[in-house]
Chain A
């Protein structure tokens, strides 16, 4: 039986129509749609004057207003490695695990065991490529999203009642503030995440894992779509509220990131995905009324990056889902047959494969989750493309130079 035949047969019992009459209200959709258009136009006074550059295919092209201004000083581009080798990370007594995050130095990596053979999800920590921590059974079900250069990991307990957690000095600590999750941590120990207040997710910052959460400012009447994409080394939290991206600076100031000025665009949505290498990477959608685009034509939309110091936008690609972004936005978690990721404005393709994968190279997909600042260490997860329950999910490390 092929996978297709098996899938169709297996899922056949779920076929059917929804029970009961429709509650869909077209008039309400039109009323709400009008309100959303007004919200899209909501714009707080920007404390940052945007020097927005129109960019085509990654080349910086200054618009007429900027012709007489000096070129902005941009962060240096990270240097891509010449070659990489790949190896499986050690698993100790576990048969499978997923890699979730890594620190800026590449020395610390964090993941979770895969319940491959009926076990549970335990946090695993690697230091210099060696497995050094396995969460005890009472802390099963805590998933870490990030780890810093001191080996402090942050994440959340997923089962039942989402709670933010950190792991520090051999102990698990529930972060203050109630339900929510921790998303990312700086090397200085500042944690970014979300907590739930009055049924709404709110972005928060903990100055250290035992601190009270600092509620980050939100626009009036915010939509429910709130995400934290990451935290910059200085503690600036970056995220998305509805169709706008925000920076929450260390002094508490909230700044809406001004969308890029796009040719002919009057309404532009931005969704921050990651903050790295001095830039904020965001999916940008041109949502302007106007002539329709054909399927597959991204128009102005695509993957962009924003440099906060100068307000510079650069367009990287017409598709926001391609090479991976090592962040926590909604468009960062997916698998690739040929692993690649954005490093600065370039794409690093990882052609090296571990010598001993559970499945053959041609039958393995990858999800990259960690890259060191010097691009010497990368890590991710390898999954078999075969629908074979005997093949475990394994963590992979690439060492480059």
Chain B
């Protein structure tokens, strides 16, 4: 990779890190894991940069890499949980409404990882169904059904006292 390509990579990454950190944080809910996910994503991005940099929509590709990094982490979670003694994605402390956030984050962590990603991308990142389908490499219909399943799972986990909109 030549210096010019490196410079383009550095410029791109510096411009995108804040947005990538926000998406990663919404996905995992943990400050440390957020940076790990972004670090992994931009590392893979560097290895593939010569091919990717000329794409029409690099951002979409990078978002896919970030979500895959998140899903990979979730898949590895079964042994990490044991290794670390506690789940790596414990809810972050936050002022105001922290109880709701904690309950919601814990419930979301129990939903299958792909459904978690769909729910976060649709409802927290505000992405349309078609964009989520592109990121997850699946059909619009699958995104819709995964949304329904994810919400149904959340309902089941949270029970009748749902913290909807921050108010019980």
- Residues of A with C-beta under 8 A to B18: 22
A288 at the interface (CB under 8 A from B): yes
Q: Would you call A24 and B17 a contact (CB within 8 A)?
A: yes
- Residues of A with C-beta under 8 A to B32: 23
Q: Which of A4, A6, A10, A14 contacts B101 (CB 8 A)?
A: A14
Q: Would you call B141 and A337 a contact (CB within 8 A)?
A: yes
Q: Which of A29, A319, A386, A389 contacts B137 (CB 8 A)?
A: A319
Q: Would you call B137 and A14 a contact (CB within 8 A)?
A: no
Q: Which of A17, A20, A33, A293 contacts B44 (CB 8 A)?
A: A33
B53 at the interface (CB under 8 A from A): yes
Question: Taking A13-B101, A334-B142 as contacts, is the C-beta distance between A24 and B42 under 8 angstroms?
Answer: yes
Closest to B36 in A: A23
Q: Residues 6-48 of chain A: 1 if any B CB is under 8 Å from the residue's CB, otherwise 0?
A: 1111111111111110111110111011101100100000000
B1 to chain A, nearest CB (A): 8
Closest to B97 in A: A13
Cα A288 to Cα B21 with chains together (Å): 28
A113 at the interface (CB under 8 A from B): no
Surface stretch bound by B, among A63-71, A75-83, A158-166, A304-312: A158-166
Q: Would you call B21 and A321 a contact (CB within 8 A)?
A: no
Total number of A residues with any Cβ neighbor in B under 8 Å: 73
- Residues of B with C-beta under 8 A to A292: 51-55
A105 at the interface (CB under 8 A from B): no
The chain A residues found within 8 Å of chain B, CB to CB, are 3-4, 6-20, 22-26, 28-30, 32-34, 36-37, 40, 116, 156, 158, 160-162, 179-181, 194, 196, 199, 201, 224-225, 287-296, 319-321, 330, 334-337, 365, 383-389, 391
Q: Residues 1-41 of chain B: 1 if any A CB is under 8 Å from the residue's CB, otherwise 0?
A: 10000100110011001100110111001011011001100
Q: Would you call B46 and A33 a contact (CB within 8 A)?
A: yes
Q: Would you call B83 and A337 a contact (CB within 8 A)?
A: no
B80 to chain A, nearest CB (A): 9
Q: Would you call B57 and A158 a contact (CB within 8 A)?
A: no
- Residues of B with C-beta under 8 A to A19: 31, 92-94
Cα A179 to Cα B48 with chains together (Å): 35
B108 to chain A, nearest CB (A): 7
- Residues of A with C-beta under 8 A to B149: 335, 365, 383, 385, 387
Beyond A6-B164, A389-B155, 12 additional pairs, beta carbon < 8 A = A3-B148, A8-B123, A10-B164, A13-B101, A33-B45, A201-B79, A225-B72, A290-B50, A292-B54, A337-B145, A365-B149, A387-B149
Q: Which of B9, B83, B119, B163 contacts A7 (CB 8 A)?
A: B119
Cα A383 to Cα B93 with chains together (Å): 35
In chain B, residues 106-127, which have Cβ atoms closer than 8 Å to a Cβ of chain A?
A: 108, 114, 119-120, 122-124
Cα A321 to Cα B42 with chains together (Å): 24
Closest to A158 in B: B78
Q: Which of B21, B31, B145 contacts A335 (CB 8 A)?
A: B145
Question: Taking A9-B164, A13-B166, A337-B142 as contacts, is the C-beta distance between A161 and B82 under 8 angstroms?
Answer: yes
B152 to chain A, nearest CB (A): 4
Cα A169 to Cα B166 with chains together (Å): 51
- The 4 A-B pairs of least Cβ separation, nearest first, read A33-B46, A292-B54, A18-B25, A289-B50
- Residues of A with C-beta under 8 A to B35: 18, 22-24
Q: Would you call B55 and A3 a contact (CB within 8 A)?
A: no
Q: Would you call A335 and B46 a contact (CB within 8 A)?
A: no
- Residues of B with C-beta under 8 A to A385: 144-145, 148-149
Cα A383 to Cα B148 with chains together (Å): 10
A360 to chain B, nearest CB (A): 13
